[in-house]
Structure 1
Amino acid sequence: MPARPSVHLAIPVDDLAAARQFYGEVLGLEQGRSTDHWIDWNLHGHQLVTHVVRGGATAVGTSEVDGHNVPIPHFGLLLAPRQFHVLAERLRTAGTQFVIEPYLRFPDQPAEQWTMFFLDPAGNALEFKAFSDETQVFAR
Structure 2
Amino acid sequence: MPPFHLAFPVMNIEDTRRFYVDILGCKVGREAEKWIDFDFFGHQISAHVKPEQCEAVETNAVDGDNVPVRHFGAVLEWSDWEALRDKVAASGTAFLIEPRIRFEGQAGEQGIFFLHDPSGNAMEFKTFKNMDSLFDRG
Superposed pair shares fold, TM > 0.5: yes
Q: CA deviation at 1:15?
A: 1.4
Kindly provide the amino acid, as one letter, of the partner of residue 51 in structure 1.
H
How large is the RMSD of aligned CA atoms in angstroms? Answer: 1.0
**Counterpart pick for 1:122 among 95, 119, 122:** 119
Q: TM-score, normalised by structure 1?
A: 0.94
Equivalences for residues 16-27 of structure 1 within 5 A: 16-27=13-24
Structure 2 residue runs of 5 or longer lacking an equivalent are: none
Q: Quick one: distance in 1 between partners of 2:2 and 2:108?
A: 24
Aligned to 2:105: 108
Aligned to 2:84: 87
Q: Quick one: distance in 2 between partners of 1:57 and 1:86?
A: 29
Q: How many residues align?
A: 137
Kindly provide the amino acid, as one letter, of the partner of residue 83 in structure 1.
D
Structure 1 residue runs of 5 or longer lacking an equivalent are: none
Maintained 8 Å contact 1:56/1:122: no
Kindly provide the amino acid, as one letter, of the partner of residue 51 in structure 2.
R
- Do structure 1's residue 55 and structure 2's residue 52 form an aligned pair? yes
- Do structure 1's residue 131 and structure 2's residue 128 form an aligned pair? yes
Identity %: 42
Kindly provide the amino acid, as one letter, of the partner of residue 44 in structure 2.
Q
**Helix, strand or coil: the match of 2:106?**
coil
Q: Deviations over 1:5-45 (max 9, x none)?
A: 21000010011100010001111101011001111100121
Aligned to 1:11: 8
**Counterpart pick for 2:94 among 74, 97, 100:** 97
**Helix, strand or coil: the match of 1:51?**
strand
Q: CA deviation at 1:63?
A: 0.9
Q: CA deviation at 1:56?
A: 4.8
